[in-house]
């Protein structure tokens, strides 16, 4: 009977749907045992993502096939009363466990997916961009967006970084970003540079979500008398171009 249940769990794990792990299963083999449920985290496009923050604990299961390592990772988390979620890297058997709720900060990684017992709902926000004069490029987590005649764009709720390049060679210059739920707002917590950013110490480009922008300057508020539900008109310091970034997590 143990073998049958183990193989059934492995098949469920392979399919990566909702996992039902029975705490104490191999002790009593009782369907009345406490149940802990894990659900895979997917982004707005139904792609696998992993949590970006540091795990509470990490271990590695050097067993093959990887589905067996996944079973051990799931079993370990389910038997830890503090464990709420885990990342699993199928190529290495690495199991990263989390005892704290997610801050909705995720990233795409090869051969990695995230399972959680406290599901995080992902959804699209609509942001509106007002600019004087033009947006040259726009990136969500390093993915370039299609700049159409529309000033509105859909951005997934687990987006970590928004980056944009704007220009204006006249006197007035600003960029303002605001989302429909007022979560995304341009203010002086954004960072802007007045010249083309160099690669960082890891040779990453300025719109990469992991780019090191520690040395960037805070955005300049172009109109202290203006506020659109908290959104400000921002720009770089004293120049005709602005490379701006906002990190929401990670």
Interval 112-139: pLDDT, tens: 999 988 766 788 999 999 998 899 999 9
pLDDT at position 35: 60
Q: Partners of 157 in the beta sheet?
A: none
Q: How would you label 8-40 residue by residue, b for 16+ Cβ within 10 Å and e otherwise?
A: ebeebbeebeebebbeebeeeeeeeeeebebbb
Catalogue all structural domains in the chain, each as residue range(s) with its CATH number. 2-116 (3.50.4.10), 124-247 (no CATH)
Q: What is the pLDDT of residue 249?
A: 79
| Measured distance CA(222)–CA(44) in Å, rounded | 34
Task: Give the model's pLDDT for residue 250.
Answer: 58
Structure tokens at 188: 């002086």
User: Which pLDDT does position 49 carry in this prediction?
Assistant: 86
Q: Which of 98, 127, 133, 150 is nearest to 248 (CA)?
A: 127
For the chain, which ranges sit under pLDDT 70? 1-35, 119-120, 149, 250
* Residue 231, CB-side half-sphere exposure with 13 Å CA sphere: 20
CB 167 within 8 A of CB 133: yes
| Global confidence as pTM | 0.70
C-beta separation of 140 from 157 below 8 A: no
């Amino acid at each position: 009977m143990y073998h049958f249940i183990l193989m059934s769990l492995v098949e469920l794990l392979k399919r990566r749907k909702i996992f039902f792990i029975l705490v104490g299963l191999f002790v009593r083999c009782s369907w009345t045992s406490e149940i802990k449920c894990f659900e895979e985290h997917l982004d707005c496009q139904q792609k696998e993502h992993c949590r970006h923050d540091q795990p509470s604990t990490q271990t590695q299961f050097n067993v093959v096939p990887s589905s067996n390592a996944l079973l051990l990772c799931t079993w370990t988390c389910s038997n830890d009363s503090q464990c709420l979620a885990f990342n699993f890297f199928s190529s290495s058997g690495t199991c990263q466990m989390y005892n704290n709720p997610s801050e909705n900060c995720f990233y795409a990684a090869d051969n990695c997916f995230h399972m959680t017992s406290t599901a995080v709902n992902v959804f699209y926000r609509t942001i509106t961009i007002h600019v004087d004069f033009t947006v040259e490029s726009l990136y969500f987590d390093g993915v370039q967006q299609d700049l159409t005649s529309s000033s509105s764009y859909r951005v997934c709720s687990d987006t970590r970084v928004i980056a944009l390049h704007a220009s204006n060679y006249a006197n007035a210059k600003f960029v303002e970003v605001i989302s429909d739920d007022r979560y995304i707002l341009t203010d002086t917590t954004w960072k802007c540079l007045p010249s083309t950013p160099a690669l960082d110490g890891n040779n990453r480009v300025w719109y990469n979500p992991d780019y090191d922008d520690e040395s960037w300057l805070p955005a300049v508020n172009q109109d202290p008398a203006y506020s659109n539900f908290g959104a400000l008109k921002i720009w770089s310091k004293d120049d005709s171009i602005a490379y701006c970034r906002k990190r929401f997590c990670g």
